């Protein structure tokens, strides 16, 4: 299986480097160019492209310098808000990259124009880069796309194959599950997963990748239709979307 490299940056961001063919690689969400360039030069990696999931600076600030130094192409959504793009992509766009194929999934909500990148590859499980839309155990805050868009986007992602590996933009896993346990304290799978994540963090290991299957069982924002979740919130008769809005609201003020 090809290696999926990650470079921690800016505190809790993850920048990903994927070698799709030999040492040719693309980068996902470079909030900072320097650690990427350093990693690439140390490992003999040739950067051919950059993918942005959304407009926030901590996912795009490295674009210019990476292009300047490597000549790579910058790919992403929303040229109006990410002026450094060379190629603008849209929902459903598919393109081959060596032996792999990337499909663009439009997932607005965190901002107006987020996308996720779903990759199929010959030598391993599919991969999903989720930026700030779906986190390990959580989802992005609402910075422009609106709650209904985010809710629908998460449903879309949850319909991907369960074995899909999820690589997100920040290390928030343990914190997200600490919150989830206040809502669904009797979920045994969630309890075990929280311990697992705490252990990983104790050893400074990243909590990525997760999988779509694990997220469906432990990510509270994908569980707005579950009875215990509704009941904790006193929303037994409510629609999952309204439950989701309340889950997001409470998380925003969770300490
Ligand atoms: Fe963001």
Between the alpha carbon of residue 196 and those of residues 11, 78, 130, 192, 207, the distances in Å are 22, 37, 22, 6, 9
Ligand 1 centroid from CA 78, angstroms: 14
Distance CA 111, CA 126 (A): 25
Ligand 1 centroid from CA 22, angstroms: 31
pTM for the model stands at 0.95
Ligand 1 centroid from CA 173, angstroms: 16
The residues that bridge with 7 in the sheet, in sequence order, are 15
Active-site residues, by number, are 54, 56, 58-59, 110, 132, 170
Distance CA 52, CA 129 (A): 10
DSSP string, 66-94: HHHHH-PEEEES-TTT-TT-SEE--TT-E
What is the model's pLDDT at position 251? 97
Q: Is 51 exposed, middle or buried (0-12, 13-18, 19+ CB in 10 A)?
A: buried
Ligand 1 centroid from CA 92, angstroms: 22
SS3 for 231?
A: helix
Ligand 1 centroid from CA 111, angstroms: 7
pLDDT averages per 10-residue partition of the chain, 255 residues:
71 92 95 96 96 97 98 97 96 93 98 98 94 98 97 98 97 96 96 97 94 98 97 97 98 95
Strands 46-51 and 73-76: parallel
């Amino acid at each position: 299986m090809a290696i999926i490299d990650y470079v921690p940056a800016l505190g809790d961001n993850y920048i990903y480097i994927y070698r799709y063919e030999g040492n040719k690689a693309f980068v996902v969400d470079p909030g900072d160019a320097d650690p990427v360039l350093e990693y690439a030069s140390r490992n003999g990696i040739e950067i051919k492209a950059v993918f942005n999931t959304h407009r926030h600076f901590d996912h795009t600030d490295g674009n210019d310098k990476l292009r300047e130094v490597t000549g790579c192409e910058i790919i992403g959504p929303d040229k109006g808000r990410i002026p450094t793009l060379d190629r603008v992509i849209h929902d459903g766009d598919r393109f081959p990259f060596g032996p792999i194929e990337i499909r663009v999934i439009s997932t607005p909500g965190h901002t107006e124009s987020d996308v996720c990148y779903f990759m199929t590859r010959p030598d391993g499980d599919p991969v999903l880069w989720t930026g700030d839309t779906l986190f390990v155990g959580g989802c992005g805050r609402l910075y422009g796309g609106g709650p209904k868009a985010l809710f629908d986007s998460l449903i879309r992602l949850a319909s991907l194959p369960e074995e899909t590996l999820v690589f997100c933009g920040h290390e928030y896993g343990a914190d997200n599950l600490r919150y989830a346990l206040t809502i669904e304290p009797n979920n045994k799978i969630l309890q075990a997963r929280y311990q697992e994540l705490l252990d990983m963090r104790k050893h400074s290991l990243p909590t990525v990748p997760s999988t779509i299957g694990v997220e469906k069982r432990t990510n509270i924002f994908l569980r707005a239709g579950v009875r215990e979740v509704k009941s904790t919130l006193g929303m037994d008769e409510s629609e999952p979307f309204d439950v989701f809005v309340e889950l997001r609201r409470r998380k925003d003020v969770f300490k």
